[in-house]
Amino acid sequence: MAGTSLNTGFLLFPKTTQLDLTGPYEVMARVPGRVDLIAKTMEPVVSDRGLTILPTATFTNHPPLDVLCIPGGPGTDDLLSDDETLAFVRKVAKSAKWVTSVCTGALLLGAAGLLRGKRATTHWLSHDMLEAFGAIPTEGRVVRDGNVITGGGVTAGIDFALWLVGEELGREAAEQIQLAIEYRPEPPFMPSEAVTKSVLDAAPTKLAGRRAAVDAAAARLGAR
């Protein structure tokens, strides 16, 4: 892995889904360079399932970043109209080599105006919401458009990170990491049609708040 160094920064915010972050973190922490968890302050941050995570840098003192990654989770809904966070994302995206997201983190990239005309993916239940930001919803675990890489829901963050390592350090390096973390998904269950239907039936109510937040953020973006 000699010869390439990547500084990676993960946005850390309340009610993030920790696996959106810790999955790709596990991969990126195994390549030369620095990995930071960047939050508004250095105060502990609580994930959507109660895991407390400590930031390593803030919006104002982080090092230059080669890779910016925005994880998802319920907390992204609150950030879609958060001017401080959106300004941070836009600022870092101007100089980062790669601008990336996992799950609903893509909606935050959209709210920052970074997905206009670009192919992108996100969690399957929120996939259609990408259109509000001028993105082109595209099916896939990992979708690349230029220097923007979006991953699907939650565990797809590992896929995107391995892909990125392969792109930057070569396939062998990515395969070594994949083997080291024994990433070989073999789900014990495949959801039945009944389970899928029950999730889809509950989605409109469950996602009503997110859709409203997306619509409001898209309106703000259109007014810029």
Instruction: For Cα atoms 71, 202, 108, give the angle at the middle one, nearest 5 degrees.
Output: 25
- 48-107: per-residue pLDDT in tens? 999 999 999 999 999 999 999 999 999 999 999 999 999 999 999 999 999 999 999 999
* Confidence check: pLDDT of 2 > 80: no
DSSP sequence for 178-202: HHHTT-----S----HHHHHHHHHH
Q: What is the pLDDT of residue 224?
A: 58
How far, in Å, CA of 122 to CA of 141, rounded? 9
pLDDT averaged over every residue in the chain: 96
Residue 34 placed within a domain: yes
Residue 1 placed within a domain: no
How far, in Å, CA of 166 to CA of 168, rounded? 6
pTM of structure:
0.95
Residue 2 placed within a domain: no
Could you tell me which of 134, 132, 153 has the C-alpha nearest to residue 145?
A: 134
**Count of domains for the chain:** 1
| Packed helices 208-222 and 193-206: angle between N→C axes, nearest 10 degrees | 50
Q: How far is residue 184 from each of residues 103, 140, 154, 159, measured CA to CA in Å?
A: 20, 18, 15, 11
Could you tell me which of 92, 109, 91 has the C-alpha nearest to residue 100?
A: 109
Q: What average pLDDT does the segment 33-38 reach?
A: 97
- Side-chain-side CA neighbours of 49 within 13 Å: the count stands at 6
Residues assigned a catalytic role: 103
Alpha helices by DSSP H, 33-119: 75-79, 83-95, 105-111
Domain extent, residue 118, equals 8-222
| Packed helices 156-169 and 18-28: angle between N→C axes, nearest 10 degrees | 20
Residue 130 placed within a domain: yes
Which parts of the chain are beta strand (E)? 8-11, 35-39, 45-46, 52-53, 57-58, 67-70, 98-102, 119-120, 136-137, 142-145, 148-151
Q: What is the pLDDT of residue 47?
A: 98
Assign residue 127 the CATH number of its domain. 3.40.50.880
Q: What is the pLDDT of residue 186?
A: 92
Could you tell me which of 35, 41, 45, 90 has the C-alpha nearest to residue 67?
A: 35
Residue 210 placed within a domain: yes
Residue 23 placed within a domain: yes
Residue 3 placed within a domain: no
Residue 15 placed within a domain: yes
- 164-182: per-residue pLDDT in tens? 999 999 999 999 999 999 9
Q: How far is residue 198 from each of residues 73, 84, 139, 187, measured CA to CA in Å?
A: 21, 37, 22, 20
Would you state the structure tokens that stand for residue 54, as one six-digit string? 């400590």
Cβ contact 57:85 at 8 Å: no
